[in-house]
């Protein structure tokens, strides 16, 4: 089982002592956070615990108010208002969905930030978009940093793995923040290289994650199918957590939910996919590097979403035509 304190960890932080803890510490710096959802909200909480003043904005006023009351975040009722609350040179961190939302925010920041300011994109953005944004902002003298962030809802307590791309000058300004957000000041964060490299490394990270998840899923499905052995999947997963070469944090999480329920009867067999898994597969094709595990894992997610249905019907009909095998027909109710 996971540690007891981890099992009780809420989706969003809910520590009534956060504000008291922060009030007792000397403030080291101030920055802005735009996007206060599951990731941005918990990153704000962790920064406040590390004595950083955070001015935060989100389209949802309730998300702002929650963090103001909980950990003393400085409220902002607009992006423009947020920028005025930070002294130059400013640091503004975006934790918005990748794509249109991030693109729109970057375009707005071009008119609000000044030369020497630092804009960080912590979304799962496509690395080529980050390279383009870095060039455009650089022409204005604004530093752009792309930060791949991993840790999910556990990052508040355990820290985040940070893969950061950009020039050395803005990285030196961000270092105190990275040391707070990471699992420890001396590990879990890395300056990966120039702009674009942070999101590139995070893209590959997620491709590997897809493959690992798919392998675990297939292995446990095989064991469950062997009904004559009546295997206890929860106990097997717990055993593998100790000394096995396949032990991992993903296995820890899997062991936790399988110990509670290995039938999963209430879960639909549909798995969403993020853009990063697709991008990793496309990058492999463009480079001519074989990545069958990552690529197949992405395809299996497409299949779970019902996108294999028509192809399967065609296969059934082909088999019927050349071999006379009767396809299974839909039964009218």
Convert the pLDDT of each residue in 253-309 to its tens digit.
999 999 999 999 999 999 988 889 999 999 999 999 999 999 999 999 999 998 888
Residues 43 and 73 in one domain: yes
pLDDT tens track for 49-76: 999 999 999 999 999 999 999 999 999 9
What tokens appear for 331 in the block? Answer: 């039964």
pLDDT, averaged across the chain = 91
Q: What is the pLDDT of residue 269?
A: 92
210: left (phi over 0), alpha (psi -120 to 50) or beta: alpha
Using the 3D structure, point to which of 158, 193, 228 is the last residue of a domain.
193
What tokens appear for 164 in the block? Answer: 């950061």
- Catalytic residue, from 66, 70, 209, 276: name it: 209
Dihedral angle computed from the Cα positions of residues 66, 67, 72 and 77, in that order, rounded to the nearest 10 degrees? -90
Residues 183 and 208 in one domain: no
For the chain, the domain total comes to 2
Alpha-carbon distance of 46 to 76, in angstroms, equals: 19
pLDDT tens track for 259-274: 999 999 999 999 988 8
- Catalytic residue, from 53, 66, 202, 283: name it: 202
Q: Is 321 within the bounds of a domain? A: no
Q: Is 83 within the bounds of a domain? A: yes
Segment 199-225 shows an average pLDDT of 97
Q: Is 20 within the bounds of a domain? A: yes
Q: Is 331 within the bounds of a domain? A: no
Q: Which domain holds residue 221?
A: 204-309
Alpha-carbon distance of 195 to 190, in angstroms, equals: 13
Question: What is the rounded radius of gyration, in angstroms, for the C-alpha atoms of the chain?
Answer: 23
Residues 59 and 168 in one domain: yes
Q: Give the SS3 label for residue 192.
A: strand
Main-chain phi, psi angles of 19, to 5 degrees: -65, -40
Q: Is 199 within the bounds of a domain? A: no
- Look up tokens 């080291």; give the residue: 28
Main-chain phi, psi angles of 314, to 5 degrees: -60, -40
The residues that bridge with 93 in the sheet, in sequence order, are 33, 120
Residues 172 and 288 in one domain: no
Q: Is 53 within the bounds of a domain? A: yes
Q: Which CATH number goes with the domain that contains 31?
A: 3.40.50.720
4 is catalytic: no
Residues 236 and 165 in one domain: no
Residues 63 and 151 in one domain: yes
Q: Which CATH number goes with the domain that contains 271?
A: 1.10.1040.10
How sure is the predictor about 25, in pLDDT bands with cuts at 50, 70 and 90? low
Using the 3D structure, point to which of 132, 164, 193 is the last residue of a domain.
193
209 is catalytic: yes
Residues 99 and 210 in one domain: no
Interstrand relation of 118-121 and 52-57 (parallel, antiparallel or unpaired): unpaired
Q: Is 319 within the bounds of a domain? A: no
Residues 180 and 281 in one domain: no
Residues 82 and 188 in one domain: yes
User: How many residues are given for the chain?
Assistant: 333
Residues 187 and 132 in one domain: yes
How sure is the predictor about 179, in pLDDT bands with cuts at 50, 70 and 90? very high
pLDDT tens track for 236-245: 999 999 999 9
Cis-peptide, bond into residue 89, ω within 30° of zero: yes
pTM over 0.85: yes
Alpha-carbon distance of 190 to 70, in angstroms, equals: 30
Using the 3D structure, point to which of 171, 193, 215 is the last residue of a domain.
193
- Look up tokens 């508040």; give the residue: 156
Other CB atoms within a 10 A radius of the CB of residue 250 amount to: 14
Residues 126 and 223 in one domain: no
Alpha-carbon distance of 254 to 237, in angstroms, equals: 7
Q: Is 89 within the bounds of a domain? A: yes
Residues 136 and 169 in one domain: yes
């Amino acid at each position: 089982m996971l540690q007891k304190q981890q099992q009780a960890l809420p989706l969003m932080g809910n520590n009534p002592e956060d504000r008291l803890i922060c009030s007792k510490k000397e403030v080291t710096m101030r920055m802005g956070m735009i996007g206060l959802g599951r990731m941005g909200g918990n990153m704000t909480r962790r920064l406040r615990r590390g004595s950083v003043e955070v001015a935060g904005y989100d389209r949802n006023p309730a998300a702002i108010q929650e963090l103001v009351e909980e950990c003393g975040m400085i409220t902002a009722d607009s992006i423009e208002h947020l920028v005025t609350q930070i002294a130059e040179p400013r640091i503004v961190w975006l934790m918005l969905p990748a794509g249109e939302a991030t693109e729109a925010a970057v375009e707005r920041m071009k008119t609000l930030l000044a030369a020497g300011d630092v804009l960080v994109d912590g979304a799962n953005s496509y690395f080529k978009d980050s390279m383009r944004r870095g060039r455009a902002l650089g022409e204005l003298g604004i530093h752009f940093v792309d930060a791949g962030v991993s840790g999910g809802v556990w990052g508040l307590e355990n820290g985040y793995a940070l893969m950061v791309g950009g020039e050395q000058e803005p990285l030196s300004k961000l270092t105190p923040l990275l040391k707070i957000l990471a699992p420890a000041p001396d590990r879990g964060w890395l300056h990966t290289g120039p702009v674009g490299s942070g999101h590139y490394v995070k893209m590959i990270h997620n491709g590997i994650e897809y493959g690992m998840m798919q392998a675990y899923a297939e292995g446990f499905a095989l064991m469950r199918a062997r009904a004559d052995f009546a295997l206890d999947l929860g106990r097997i997963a717990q055993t593998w957590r100790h000394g096995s070469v396949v032990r991992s944090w993903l296995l820890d999480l899997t062991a936790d939910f399988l110990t509670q329920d290995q039938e999963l009867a209430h879960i639909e067999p549909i798995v969403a996919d993020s853009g990063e898994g697709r991008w990793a597969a496309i990058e492999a094709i463009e480079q001519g590097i074989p990545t069958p595990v990552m690529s197949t894992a992405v395809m299996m997610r497409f299949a779970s979403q019902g996108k294999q249905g028509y192809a399967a019907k065609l296969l059934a009909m082909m088999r019927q035509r050349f071999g006379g095998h009767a396809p299974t027909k839909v039964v009218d109710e």
